[in-house]
Amino acid sequence: MVDLEDIADKLSQVSEKGLSMVSSLAQQQINLEKRIEDIEQELKAKKRELREVQEDLLPAALQEYNMTGYTMDDGSEISVKPFYSASISKDNSDEAFEWLTSNGHASLIKNNVSASFGRGKDNEAKSLLAELHDRGLETKSKTWVEPMTLKAFVKEQVEKGENLPYDLLGIFVGQRANIKRS
């Protein structure tokens, strides 16, 4: 004869034990997610602090004391070198691309055109963009300058003394302290 009360009691125990385990693991996940979020925020703050020392405070201190470099007691060597940064914002992209083109630097600009096709449409995918547009197929186009290419271009042009639209190309030129550890 089946003892329904015994079965119900066992199911209740399993459920309580299972719920306790699930609840404990869920809380552990929540705690870990929060800890990771806190660590990522702390990392961002430390990176900002490093950037301030590396790109502002240490180069300024060396310049203030007319030093071009310094060797520390442990043999580490401090030097300051220029660095370059540039980023074309979406708001400035049309005007920036126009400036690059009209000043002989159109080769920096990349243009990516893509189209979506269903299965079995391989032959149509090989057609020209104009043909695709004429057929009414949805196409997407992206025009951009690779960030590292832009950075190298800016460095080259600034070092040549060329005049560049700093705001338009999002240019920042600064000094950065480098420490070479022995």
Whether residue 118 is predicted with pLDDT greater than 90 in this model: the reply is no
| CA proximity to 83, closest of 178, 155, 148 | 155
Whether residue 74 is predicted with pLDDT greater than 70 in this model: the reply is yes
List b or e across 154-164, with b for residues whose CB sees 16 or more CB atoms inside 10 angstroms: bbebbeeeeeb
Whether residue 162 is predicted with pLDDT greater than 80 in this model: the reply is yes
- In the block, which residue shows the tokens 């399993």? 14
| 116 or 28, which is more confident | 28
Q: Are the CB atoms for 147 and 87 separated by under 8 Å?
A: yes
Per-residue pLDDT at 117: 59
| 143 or 82, which is more confident | 82
As a whole number, the mean pLDDT across the chain is 86
Per-residue pLDDT at 112: 76
| CA proximity to 76, closest of 98, 56, 58, 94 | 58
Q: What percent of the chain has pLDDT over 90?
A: 62
